[in-house]
């Protein structure tokens, strides 16, 4: 199904993003919110960023997330942007608690993944309203055309990236665009697009899930072999090990597979400098 208009595809090429499109029904979004809050709510940070957080790659742990990462309309749109053979490489549940001060500094996703070529697209699925008041994602249109820029660590407890990493460049944010969304809307951003999000100043959670999709010809540049899940088409390249689907929420094999997948991801983070900044 054609989801994105030609103008939206052109905007993705030229500006690096497509703003929120309604791709899930209200009831789908409401159910996924319940699921996400049940499975990926308050997490204990045990002093080590390498824990197998339920907020990372949840599609390996929970059948509902396995279904959402394969949502046909989301994949139809992704196919228009990166072609028919699609892997999901990573996923993050971005849950901002009310008045928590949590924020995401200016960054480019590519910095963390060590993938080439730079064809990864993030589909950000809104499960709650996402507004300037609760810290919606803000993008810098066209910033994906300046290539991979350096990042530095900026330790801040409230930064939602593991090391508070942020772009070294001075950012002129006067042209920033805030992606306001309603539950069920999905935005798309290019792996080199600079983006951030501000703290949630409201009394309700702001929740979105960022699915990182790549065409199967993309490869990881580090020495560690990573895993990914084919969600559409065919994988004729074999650049990643396949991942199993969970059969239930307490599936011990799934818990182990999730742990192994994230462990490899963290090992890779030590293998190449960019991945040292993994979130
Ligand atoms: O949800 C957020 O506030 C940040 C999202 C983000 O950085 C991403 O999806 O790459």
Segment 142-177, tens digit of pLDDT: 999 999 988 887 778 888 876 667 888 888 889 999
Q: Which domain holds residue 186?
A: 6-37+53-273
Inside any domain, residue 47: no
DSSP reduced 3-state for 17: strand
Number of domains within the chain: 1
**Å from CA of 104 to ligand 1 middle:** 7
Atom of ligand 1 nearest to the CA of 124: 9
Q: What is the pLDDT of residue 269?
A: 73
Q: Is residue 279 part of a domain?
A: no
C-alpha distances in angstroms, 141 versus 136, 167, 175? 15, 16, 7
| Residue 210 CA to ligand 1 centre (angstroms) | 7
In whole angstroms, what is the distance from residue 228 CA to residue 203 CA?
A: 36
State the sign of the Cα–Cα–Cα–Cα dihedral 195, 199, 201, 205: positive
- Which pLDDT tens digit goes with each residue over 229-272? 999 999 999 999 999 999 999 799 999 999 999 999 988 876 65
- Please give the number of the atom of ligand 1 that sits closest to the Cα of 107: 7
Atom of ligand 1 nearest to the CA of 208: 1
pLDDT for 43 = 72
Predicted local confidence at residue 184, as pLDDT: 98
Residue 171 DSSP code: P
CA 60 to centroid of ligand 1, rounded, Å: 20
Query: How confident is the model at residue 156, as a pLDDT?
Result: 81
Which positions ≥6 away from 13 have C-beta within 8 Å?
none
Q: Give the Å distance between the CA of 236 and the centre of ligand 1.
A: 30
Residue ranges of the chain with per-residue pLDDT less than 70: 44-52, 162-164, 270-279
Atom 10 of ligand 1, nearest CA residue? 109
Indicate whether 177 belongs to any domain.
Answer: yes
In a domain, 32, yes or no: yes
Q: What is the CATH number of the domain that holds 61?
A: 2.60.120.620
Ligand 1, atom 3, residue with closest C-alpha:
197
Residue 278 lies in a domain: no
Q: Which among 16, 122, 192, 278 is the best mutation to test ligand 1's pocket, defined by most ligand atoms within 8 Å of the CB?
A: 122
Ligand 1 site: residues with CB under 6 angstroms?
94, 104, 109, 122, 124, 137, 195, 197, 208, 210
Give domain status of residue 42, yes or no: no
Residue of the CA atom closest to atom 1 of ligand 1: 94
pTM, full prediction: 0.94
Q: What is the token pair recorded at 214?
A: 């790549």
Assigned domain for 174 exists: yes
Q: Whose CA is nearest to atom 9 of ligand 1?
A: 210
pLDDT in the model for residue 227: 97
């Amino acid at each position: 199904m054609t989801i994105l208009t030609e103008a939206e595809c052109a905007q993705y090429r030229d500006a690096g993003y497509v703003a929120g499109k309604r791709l899930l029904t209200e009831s789908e979004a409401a159910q996924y919110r319940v699921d996400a809050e049940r499975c990926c709510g308050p997490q204990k940070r045990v002093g080590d960023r390498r824990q197998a957080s339920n907020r990372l790659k949840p599609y390996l742990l929970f059948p509902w997330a396995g279904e959402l990462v394969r949502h046909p309309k989301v994949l139809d749109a992704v196919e228009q942007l990166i072609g028919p053979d699609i892997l999901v490489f990573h996923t993050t549940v971005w849950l901002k608690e009310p008045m928590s001060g949590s924020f995401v500094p200016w960054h480019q996703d590519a910095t963390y993944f060590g993938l080439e070529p730079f064809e990864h697209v993030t589909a950000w699925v809104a499960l709650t309203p996402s507004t300037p008041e609760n810290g919606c994602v803000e993008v810098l249109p066209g910033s994906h055309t300046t290539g991979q820029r350096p990042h530095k660590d900026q330790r801040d407890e409230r930064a939602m990236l593991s090391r508070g990493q942020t772009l070294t460049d001075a950012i002129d944010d006067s042209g920033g665009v805030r992606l306001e969304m309603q539950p069920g809307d999905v935005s798309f951003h290019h792996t080199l697009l600079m983006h951030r999000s501000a703290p949630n100043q409201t009394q309700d959670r702001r929740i979105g899930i960022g699915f990182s999709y790549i065409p199967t010809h993309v490869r990881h540049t580090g020495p560690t072999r990573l895993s990914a899940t084919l969600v559409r088409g065919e994988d004729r390249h074999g650049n990643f090990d396949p991942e199993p689907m969970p059969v239930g929420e307490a599936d011990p094999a799934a818990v182990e597979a999730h742990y192994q997948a994230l462990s490899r991801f963290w090992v890779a983070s030590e293998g190449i400098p960019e991945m040292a900044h993994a979130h």
